[in-house]
């Protein structure tokens, strides 16, 4: 993003002082939220309202198969939901107020997995992943509900290398800023999965890793919910405001 610069004259007595107005571009950052498997946009809405207050355009949405939306959940594949995410991203960028070079994607669990893959298909500047899930590349077109849960937990409990997994490979190529938020007592995404994501992020501009003490996967405790909201809003604030300050200081 760039700042608009306008030279002005300020009258004082019989003289003039030179001045310069600096103001933000009319375009603003966009933030896309991706909920987890079996969830909905409902939880994202409150956080999106707070982030919109920072001067961002936010989009939340329900993946197909969720919240009574579209095809039955039992038939949804990862391919279906990745296409949903691509459509939502493209809709966000069609908003006339969006700066298309300043897009953040915030993904939770399954949504974090899809968001990681999205970075290899669309431009993303900032990537926030809360308890990002991990899946084998095989059986991509199989209904997600039919994937072997025991096998998935075994897979997630081991170190997975970026070159062997589509989502991690996308993270390995990502050069923007990343936030990873882990739940201390997560029953679905173990610490090993978080470390696989963290290890993959070798080319990022910055990497922030936070652990919410005592939190489970779904943040069922209101205190954990608030902790995550604070982490996310603070990080988005740092990224967006930091970006604008660097523009002004470079002039």
The whole-number pLDDT of residue 7 equals 79
**pLDDT, tens digit, 9 for 90 and up, residues 125-184:** 999 999 999 999 999 999 999 999 999 999 999 999 999 999 999 999 999 999 999 999
Fold type of domain 25-250: Rossmann fold (3.40.50)
Specify whether the CB–CB gap between 131 and 211 falls below 8 A: no
Question: Is pLDDT of 27 > 90?
Answer: no
Domain ranges of the chain: 25-250
Q: Is the dihedral of CA 228, 169, 189, 32 positive or negative?
A: positive
The pTM assigned to this predicted structure is 0.88
> For 194-199, what is the mean pLDDT?
98
Question: Is pLDDT of 1 > 60?
Answer: no
Most confident listed range (26-40, 69-83, 206-220): 206-220
Q: Which of 181, 168, 52, 57 is nearest to 108 (CA)?
A: 181
**pLDDT, tens digit, 9 for 90 and up, residues 59-97:** 999 998 898 877 899 999 999 999 999 999 999 998 988
Task: Tokens for 116, please give them.
Answer: 């990681």
Cβ-based neighbour number of residue 214 at 10 Å: 12
| Range of weakest confidence among 1-5, 10-14, 90-94, 127-131 | 1-5
Q: Cα separations (Å) of 168 from 131, 164, 194, 199, 251?
A: 14, 8, 11, 9, 37
Residue 248 and residue 17: Cα distance in Å, rounded? Answer: 21
Q: In residues, how long is the chain?
A: 251
Output the average pLDDT for the chain. 90
Q: Which of 177, 226, 197, 207 is nearest to 43 (CA)?
A: 226
Name the DSSP class of 210: E
Specify whether the CB–CB gap between 126 and 104 falls below 8 A: yes
How does 131-154 read in b/e, with b if 16+ C-beta sit within 10 Å?
Answer: bbbbbbeeeeeebbeeeeeeeeee
- Phi and psi based region of residue 109 (left: phi greater than 0; alpha: psi -120 to 50; beta: remaining): left
Strand partners, 209: 180
Q: Which residue has the higher pLDDT, 216 or 43?
A: 216
């Amino acid at each position: 993003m760039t700042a608009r610069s306008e030279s002005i004259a300020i009258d004082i007595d019989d003289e003039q002082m030179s001045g310069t107005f600096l103001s933000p571009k009319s375009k603003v950052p966009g933030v896309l939220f991706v909920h987890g498997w079996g969830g909905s946009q409902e939880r994202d809405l409150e956080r999106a309202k707070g982030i919109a207050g920072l001067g961002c355009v936010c989009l939340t949405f329900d993946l197909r198969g969720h919240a009574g939306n579209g095809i039955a959940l039992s038939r949804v594949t990862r391919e279906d939901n990745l296409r949903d995410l691509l459509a939502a991203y493209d809709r966000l960028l069609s908003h006339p107020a969006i700066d298309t070079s300043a897009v953040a994607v915030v993904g939770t669990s399954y949504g974090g997995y899809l968001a990681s893959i999205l970075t290899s298909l669309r431009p993303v500047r900032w990537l926030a992943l809360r308890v990002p899930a991990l899946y084998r590349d095989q059986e991509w077109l199989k209904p997600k509900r039919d994937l072997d849960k025991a096998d998935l937990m075994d897979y997630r409990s081991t170190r997975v290398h970026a070159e062997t997994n589509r989502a991690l490979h996308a993270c390995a190529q990502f050069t923007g800023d990343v936030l990873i938020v882990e739940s201390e007592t997560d029953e679905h995404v173990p610490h090993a999965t978080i470390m696989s994501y963290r290890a993959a992020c070798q080319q990022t501009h910055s990497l922030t890793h936070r652990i919410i003490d005592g939190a489970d996967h779904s943040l069922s405790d209101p205190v954990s919910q608030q902790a995550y909201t604070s982490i996310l809003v603070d990080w988005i604030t740092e990224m967006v405001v930091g970006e604008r300050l660097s523009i002004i200081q470079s002039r």
